[in-house]
Each structure stands twice: as C-alpha cells, then as structure tokens.
C-alpha cells in the first residue's frame, strides 16, 4: 500500500505524514527522516495502520510537527483480551528522536496502552538517518514480540487480589503522575489532600467488565480515568471544572508508561506499590 492509497483509506492523515517538511529551525546537521519511508515499508510487510495523531502547533509548520502512529499485524490475534501493537513517534523539527514502543489495545474498551518492562526492551530510539529503515524493521519485529510477551502476563495480573487499601495506594501513586500546579510549594498541604480525592476518582468504574478486585481490573479502571479526563479540578491553583482527555502525544506516553511501571511494581509486591514516589 502506497501513501496515495493510504490517504484514500485514512483521509484524516496529518500533514506531517502526507506532505512532511524539515523545519527551518533545525541545524544543517539534522538528518531529515521521513516517517513515510517506515510506514510504507511496514504496510508492505503486512502491518496495518490503526491510528495516527499529530501535534497541532500554533506557530510552527504542521508538516514538521510531532506525530504518533499505531500499527498492528494484519493477522494479529487477541491475547488475553488485548491486541499487541506497535507505537511509533517522530517529528521533523528536532522535538524528538524516532521512537518505538510496545503497545496493546484492550478489546472491551479500545483503550490504547503503552507498556514497558524492566526486563524486556520495549522502547527503542533511532537517530534521524534514512539508513536506519532496515534496522527499524528488525526492531519492530522484536518489539511486537515484547508486546506479545507482556500480554501473556495478563492472567497473572488478574490473579493478584487487591484489598481496598491496596487499590487506594495504587490510585494515589497514579494520581501523582498528573501534573502539579506551578505554585506547588505554596499550596503543597492542600494539594496533597486534593491528590487523595483524585485517587478516589481514579477508582471510579465505568464498565461492568472492569469490575474486579484484582490488579488487571484496577489498572484498566485507573488508566481509563487518567486518559479520558472529566475529573474534578477544584485544586488550589486551578479553576473549578473537569480535566480534559489526554491528547498530547508526550503526556500520553508519560502517563501510560508511568502507570504501567506502577503496575509492575504492584505485581512484584503482591498488590502494593512501594518504589514509585
């Protein structure tokens, strides 16, 4: 499948994929690396484009903006209720290197998860050089296997029973992944109290399929609430209202990977999170 065909099937592709341009602000040493070269190769190798989003800069050229694409194998099978996926991030303005993550999509809610593992390489970075395309293809094959391996661990997570105290401990740690106000030093005592309220909101269940006193269910509940927004924002230093859904590419990555690391810590400690700050 070439880009013209891809545009017909995915009319909402961003300018940074359809008509990419190297930003004028980068130095002469910067190597322009067209994401299309990787995407077209992967499509020919049997990958399927599932999602594509891009930053919407107010002053910069959108053709060089940071973008994220999600792919999966055409014959990808469900593994314990999730589909292993590959997430690629790139930009043409020097904002980031070309990055690759193992990811999963939860079947019952179509939530996208970005996963990391301390024992497995699930994040790969590349310099902006066109000669890296074959290397990236090899890394993609290895990374999707990491996603498969992590998906195989889901039953173990579902076997870890969590008490209410464990859930609140997990949610409180997860709430600390949210951004802090600029005047944090002035409002710290009240802000910590607000974090406790955040943690309770993060445990709000929206689907019966997620109801369960186990680590996998709690992870899914908290992850959805972190990403979907709509949490009360009556914190000191903020206006009253609700949080917005996470659309920023880097915040998406940071929240997902941070939460998955909390989950791995809870897995090691039978439901409690000790190591996260």
Number of structural domains (the chain) is: 2
Say whether both 51 and 94 belong to one domain. yes
- Structural contact between residues 22 and 32, judged by C-beta atoms closer than 8 angstroms: yes
Residue 275 lies in a domain: no
Say whether both 135 and 172 belong to one domain. no
Residue 253 lies in a domain: yes
Each residue of 69-122: pLDDT tens digit?
A: 999 999 888 899 889 999 999 988 887 888 888 888 886 555 666 665 544 445
Question: Which of residues 152, 179, 204 is at a domain's end?
Answer: 152
Say whether both 62 and 106 belong to one domain. yes
CA distance 143 to 149: 10
How many C-beta atoms surround the C-beta of residue 246 within 10 A?
18
Say whether both 144 and 185 belong to one domain. no
What is the signed CA dihedral for 191, 266, 121, 104, rounded to 10 degrees?
-80
Say whether both 18 and 124 belong to one domain. yes
Pairing type for strands 112-115 and 47-54 reads unpaired
Residue 130 has pLDDT above 80, yes or no: no
Residue 215 lies in a domain: yes
Each residue of 212-257: pLDDT tens digit?
A: 999 999 999 998 888 887 666 554 445 555 667 788 888 888 888 8
Each residue of 53-66: pLDDT tens digit?
A: 888 876 778 888 89
CA distance 89 to 54: 9
Range of the domain at 107: 3-152
CA distance 17 to 87: 15
Say whether both 25 and 130 belong to one domain. yes
User: What would the two tokens of residue 7 be?
Assistant: 């545009």
Say whether both 224 and 206 belong to one domain. yes
- Packing angle, helices 249-268 and 215-228, rounded to 10: 160
Cα separation values, 156 from 16, 51, 215, 270, Å: 40, 29, 9, 11
């Amino acid at each position: 499948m070439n880009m013209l065909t891809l545009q017909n099937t995915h009319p909402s592709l961003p300018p940074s994929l359809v008509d990419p341009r190297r930003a004028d602000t980068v130095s002469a040493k910067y190597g322009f690396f067209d994401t299309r070269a990787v995407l077209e190769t992967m499509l020919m190798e049997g990958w399927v484009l599932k999602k594509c989003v891009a930053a919407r800069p107010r002053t910069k050229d959108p053709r060089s903006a940071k973008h994220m694409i999600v792919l999966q194998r055409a014959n990808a099978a469900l593994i314990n209720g999730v589909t292993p996926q590959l997430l690629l991030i790139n930009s043409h303005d020097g904002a980031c290197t070309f990055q690759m993550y193992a990811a999963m999509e939860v079947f019952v809610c179509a939530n996208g998860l970005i996963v990391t593992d301390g024992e497995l390489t699930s994040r790969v970075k590349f310099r902006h050089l066109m000669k890296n395309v074959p290397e990236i293809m090899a890394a993609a094959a290895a990374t999707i296997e990491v996603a498969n391996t992590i998906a195989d661990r889901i039953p173990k997570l579902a076997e870890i029973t969590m008490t209410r105290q464990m859930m609140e401990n997990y949610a409180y740690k997860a709430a600390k992944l949210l951004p802090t106000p600029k005047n944090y030093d002035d409002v710290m005592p009240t802000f910590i109290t607000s974090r406790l309220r955040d943690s309770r909101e993060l445990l709000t269940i929206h689907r019966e399929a997620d109801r369960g006193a186990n680590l996998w269910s709690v992870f899914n509940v908290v992850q959805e609430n972190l990403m979907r927004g709509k949490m009360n924002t009556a914190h000191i230093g903020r206006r009253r209202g609700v949080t917005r859904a996470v659309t920023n590419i880097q915040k998406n990555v940071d929240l997902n990977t941070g939460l998955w690391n909390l989950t791995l810590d809870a897995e090691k400690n039978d439901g409690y999170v000790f190591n996260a700050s």
